[in-house]
Structure 1
């Protein structure tokens, strides 16, 4: 009867075949190398279902850990609000960019099947948005959406634009996919400059190329962050259940941030042009 006393002591029941350290190790190996559950079961001498249960148990724990903060051991970023609050308080200029991973195509006849089709890659994908600092160290990765949604749409629907309104001192470098965000927040968001007209003076074209080069040099580090994620096998081409992708991505991204946070912070050098003083002969 519901509401009665327990009839079985806490901790009773069938014991797991693998201790927690083995379950954690199996999950890490699966996330890093993409080994099938059956292969891991052979390594540990257990049934495949035991490994599957272990991964289902440990993966959400890794996903919930959040992202490590450079030079702040013990503190972690778990939400967009945490990220922008940290960047505002520490004066960190962020870089953001979207990345997408190919996933299995939904069955024919299922509703929303076309929502996974990316207009850029012409494949079934899931997209995420990555945030890093000026050294390419991962600060946050999330804003998970289906491949059909454009980056600029995610900015509106997932609260990124609202965070810029709330934190006026946060600055960001973005690519051309976020031109709308740069137009809305011109003093906070830097996007590639507009290309001059075909008949523009050569001086304007050279200035545009130099400005574009500098902006790209400042932003390119977030591409390196995305490349770090893709070194993990499941994020090269995800073959698992699509509903588990967000959890898998957060688990991997959090582990990548742990390693990135240990990099020594380099001083941000100035790239401003300095006029040369004419010397008297």
Structure 2
């Protein structure tokens, strides 16, 4: 069984069972140990109305923070029964895994470069400044949009409710998540989990995706987002050559051409589709990396109430590794130049 000492002695265990390099794990632990005392007090204050004991009372955790975090990350990476995860670590129990999966996810979000959560927007609701992506967040001025689905167990006993979650594409009950990345493999935003029967373009509308994008950026999406460009509002600008006022879209949206029924695409349209695919594949890379964590790649067994939080933490883990290898590559290129 693994202990903190064995994790320090054999760093490969961290990579194999938690899915991240050992140095990233220990940097994360150092940040969490500093933040944890205040985080625990804040969490207990929020539950004060539900508690009969004073804050600070009650049983303290038996396990060190290192092992508790390792339990959570192993559960996310392998998605095996919690009792099996507990058996991998000394003195851990299934209850420890279950409790800390909920207790430590918010703390993990604080120390990881997690993407923003895009909530559903009511009709006529105005977005706040914090809900809109800033141009500075986009390393190359692009936003790449795509959605992915994850299988879930058949929900409830109500047929009407089940229909909302049945994906015609996957032929399964699923939850759908929309991703928004830049052109450099950084996940900038994800949606809350939506019923799998929701189409990509409808989910985009419910999230007010176009409204969340900054002026002047270029958005690219697949054929499931046909018509997204029609949601872009116009802005009035002055033509520098003629001095006249002109209306133009506040951002550019590109989606591939669909082959017409009974017809063929022109060579120019095919070339345009290839150019879009060469850039848009980067959001597919990000989704693929996220699915290296089995809790996202396999049928979801945890409560739907923490699904979005789990997805956000896994995206944060992917972002942390992306930033790491990009920094390493940049340092190597500077050393050789």
TM interval, shorter chain, is: 0.7 to 0.9
User: Residue 60 of structure 1 corresponds to which residue in structure 2?
Assistant: 106
User: Residue 182 of structure 2 corresponds to which residue in structure 1?
Assistant: 133
Does the CA contact (< 8 Å) of 1:127 and 1:145 recur in 2? Answer: yes
Cα gap change, 1:9 to 1:242, in 2 (>3 Å): closer
What is the TM-score when the length of structure 1 is the normalising length?
0.77
Cα distance, 1:11 vs. partner?
2.6
Give, in whole Å, the separation in 1 of the partners of 2:60 and 2:154.
Answer: 38
User: Residue 120 of structure 1 corresponds to which residue in structure 2?
Assistant: 169
Q: Secondary structure at the match of 2:67?
A: helix
1:116-265 → structure 2 map (5 Å cutoff): 116-164=165-213, 167-185=214-232, 187-195=251-259, 205-237=266-298, 238-264=300-326
The one-character-per-residue Cα deviations of 1:62-85 (angstroms, maximum 9, x if unpaired) are 2x43873xxxxxxx6535545611
Give, in whole Å, the separation in 1 of the partners of 2:319 and 2:285.
Answer: 13
Give, in whole Å, the separation in 2 of the partners of 1:234 and 1:160.
Answer: 26
Does the CA contact (< 8 Å) of 1:116 and 1:124 recur in 2? Answer: yes
Greater CA deviation, 103-112 or 121-130?
Answer: 103-112
Cα distance, 1:221 vs. partner?
1.1
- The root-mean-square deviation of aligned C-alpha atoms, in Å, is 2.9
Q: Secondary structure at the match of 1:141?
A: strand
Gaps of 5+ in 1: 1-6, 69-75, 268-281
Q: Secondary structure at the match of 2:134?
A: helix
Does the CA contact (< 8 Å) of 2:63 and 2:91 recur in 1? Answer: no
Give, in whole Å, the separation in 2 of the partners of 1:39 and 1:194.
Answer: 48
Cα distance, 1:136 vs. partner?
2.5
- 1:29 is aligned, of 74, 90, 102, to 74
User: Residue 14 of structure 1 corresponds to which residue in structure 2?
Assistant: 59
Higher relative contact order (CA 8 A, sep 6+): 1
